[in-house]
Amino acid sequence: MNATFSALAEPNRLQIVELLRHRPLPVGGIAHRLRMRQPQVSKHLRVLSEAGLVQVRPVAQQRIYGLRAEGLKELDDWLEGYRRLWGERFEQLDDVLSDLQQEKGNTNGNRK
Amino acid sequence: MNATFSALAEPNRLQIVELLRHRPLPVGGIAHRLRMRQPQVSKHLRVLSEAGLVQVRPVAQQRIYGLRAEGLKELDDWLEGYRRLWGERFEQLDDVLSDLQQEKGNTNGNRK
DNA sequence: ACATAATATGCCTTGACAGGAATATTCCTG
DNA sequence: CAGGAATATTCCTGTCAAGGCATATTATGT
């Protein structure tokens, strides 16, 4: 999961993902459209690939990169645990205040 | 959107978010539970706050940090454009091959 | 006003990582 | 098998950001 976020944290890598949303593309096609140099694109694709966000299919000398559904679904699943946050009003003030009582003596970041 | 990903890319920051999923907490409480030092927690919370993922409420000297729904909903909305990826089989081989024709001469990352 | 609790900030050092350029690898075609 | 196209890899360098530590800031109670 962490690999997913750090992969998408890089602006160019995020651009690549958004580009591949429309259709799979060979490395050169990606480089051309995003005005990036081929080696960088290859490196970024490597990271995206290791994060499971992208998959390759070789055709002749080119390698066609496309999005990998499972990788993005993983992100979607992670979000599942947070969906209750919007659309509902919860976590009343009282709850917060009662939580504060439990924090007595646990302050100031003493480790262990 | 990019700020969101880079904020969540940091392991400790992701941990903080996952911790706050259960309930809002003061800085010291976060530091204690995650075995981190208070200054780091404050810094991480700053980043999360600037990314709109977290919100503060001052209570006495403490500051109670909790998740901010809109921040995570933004992520959810971004994913919306990718949901069609799973569960459907699309992008046939023929489509890819026809795309390749369009790539003629666009190769090797020459910029501009 | 003072002592103290809770948190934020500043400075410094170190490690990770992106970009650039050159080169290696792989695959096709004549 | 020579040549070229498409892509991957390597080495180098500069930048940025996280951690540690000290200190500043804000709020509370007496």
Digit-coded pLDDT (tens) for B28-67: 999 999 999 999 999 999 999 999 999 999 999 999 999 9
Cα separation, B99 vs B83, in Å, equals 23
Distance A11 CA to D10 C1' (A): 24
Q: Which two tokens stand for residue A54?
A: 């992208």
Full-model pTM: 0.86
Nearest nt (C1') from B7 Cα: D17
pLDDT in the model for residue B45 = 98
A43 touches strand C (CB under 7 A): yes
pLDDT in the model for residue A86 = 84
Cβ distance A112 to B23 less than 8 Å, yes or no, reads: no
* 3-state SS class at B109: coil
Interface test with A, best of B55, B72, B95 (most A CBs within 10 A): B72
Count CA within 13 A, CB hemisphere, residue B105. Answer: 1
Nucleotides of C under 7 A from a protein CB: 5-10, 17-23, 26-29
- Would you write out chain A's pLDDT as a tens digit for each of its 112 residues? 999 999 999 999 999 999 999 999 999 999 999 999 999 999 999 999 999 999 999 999 999 999 999 999 999 999 999 999 987 665 554 455 455 554 554 444 334 3
CA B109 from chain centre, in angstroms, equals 30
Asked whether the beta carbons of B45 and B65 are under 8 A apart, the reply is yes
All residues of chain A having their beta carbon less than 8 Å from the beta carbon of residue B96 are 23-24, 57, 59, 64, 66
Distance B18 CA to C2 C1' (A): 40
pLDDT per residue as tens digits for the range B69-88 = 999 999 999 999 999 998 76
Residues paired with residue B56 on neighbouring β-strands, in sequence order: B65
Cβ distance B108 to A38 less than 8 Å, yes or no, reads: yes
pLDDT in the model for residue B86 = 84
Q: Which helix (H) or strand (E) holds B32?
A: helix B27-34
Mind telling me how many Å the CA of A46 is from chain B's nearest CA? Answer: 16
Distance B92 CA to D13 C1' (A): 43
Interface test with A, best of B86, B97, B102 (most A CBs within 10 A): B86
Amino acid at B56: V
pLDDT tier, B89 (very low <50, low <70, confident <90, very high otherwise): low
Asked whether the beta carbons of B75 and B7 are under 8 A apart, the reply is no
